[in-house]
Amino acid sequence: MAKDLKKLRDQIDAIDNQILDLLNDRADVVLEVGKAKSGESREFYVPSREQAIYERLMGNNPGPFPNEAVRKVFREIISASLSLEQPMKVAFLGPQTTFTHVAAMRQFGLSAQLVPMKSIPSVFEEVERGRAHYGVVPVENSTEGVVNHTLDMFIGSELQVIAEVLLEISHDLLSRSGQLEQVSKVVSHPQALAQCRRWLEENLPDVPLVDVTSTAAAAQMAAEDGSAAAIASHAAASQFGIQVVKAKIEDNPNNFTRFLVIGKKAPEKSGHDKTSLMFSVKDEPGILYRMLEPFSNRQINLVKIESRPMKQKAWEYIFFLDLVGHVTDQPITDAIEELRGCCHFLKILGSYPLAPQNNEDGGN
């Protein structure tokens, strides 16, 4: 039996050596790709190409290695490969261990330099000034709705949406003791508290709830105060050395947050894209119907429409629209031009690959 086990382990070691050789062969080719891109002034990060790699590999995977593990492994391979071409700096709404941090890690891997920022405007500014290549910001939650600060920032920004990330949000109750009966207050970001309202009412009805700036800040408070429990990600428990009192306390098990990746240049067409627009329409009878008609007539799938009041004028609104397809698709091009005739202004925020609908590691 011991000889059989040694033989199997020797096989694993030999396979690992082959994988290592192939990784270095791949890295050599990546460096050649980087040289070719620099000669043509191309973007070194191409979300559509990355998504195509994942889809091809998972489609060709016979098992038993699980598909989601394939995605995770190759995300890190691609992340490390990109760092060979050019060190990539990504700003995100911090601090670390927030869900935006998890979304940034999912999109860019661990080899990217992920830089936490204190506000959504500061993420935009970091990218606009060229201090970061890309930024990651939350835009909407399936339970609590849109993140208005993010939508507002696009009004005055020239940045493009280059990708989206869908992250399943799972909240844990964390404390130093790990004991529910020792909790005398619960601290977290207001949105996290709202997403766990029913569980808190049923299990800690008389315990005060305290708003803080982020779930990571809540976890830090719980690490310093033995009477406090934090609602935060599972990753925060490891980061701050505290225990899980109760896992997955969110009221809605289908709780997702959508994040946008912002940058200066539009990505290449992937074939499975989404386009985001913002516009302000003229105040005329039937205008709401007329602004949707160009898309309805061409059977274009609208997946989201959101309005925000204009800060310059009372009772006038800016609309944000998401649709399936790429801005270069002729029906979409024609629909946008028809819509433009109804608008004070219209801005294309970007066409970018649709995020995969999977339930990978969720970690505000």
Residue 256: partners with Cβ closer than 8 Å, 6 or more residues away: 141, 142, 166, 167, 168, 169
Residue 356: partners with Cβ closer than 8 Å, 6 or more residues away: 51, 54, 166
Tell me, rounded to whole angstroms, the distance of Cα 98 from its chain centroid. Answer: 11
Q: Is 257 annotated as catalytic?
A: yes
CB 216 within 8 A of CB 98: yes
Q: Is 143 annotated as catalytic?
A: no
Q: What's the rounded Cα separation, in Å, for the pair 89 and 79?
A: 12
**Catalytic, out of 92, 99, 124, 259:** 259
CB 187 within 8 A of CB 232: no
Q: Give the chain's length.
A: 364
| Peptide bond between residue 64 and the one before it cis (omega within 30 degrees of 0) | yes
Query: What does residue 119 show for φ and ψ, rounded to 5 degrees?
Result: -155, 160
**Catalytic, out of 100, 150, 257, 275:** 257
Q: What's the rounded Cα separation, in Å, for the pair 80 and 95?
A: 23
E strand spans, 221-364: 228-232, 243-246, 256-263, 273-281, 302-309, 317-324, 343-353
What amino acid occupies position 338?
Answer: E
Query: What does residue 46 show for φ and ψ, rounded to 5 degrees?
Result: -125, 95
Question: Within the chain, where are the H helices?
Answer: 2-40, 47-60, 67-85, 99-108, 120-128, 148-155, 190-195, 197-203, 215-224, 234-240, 287-297, 330-340
Catalytic annotation, residues:
257, 259
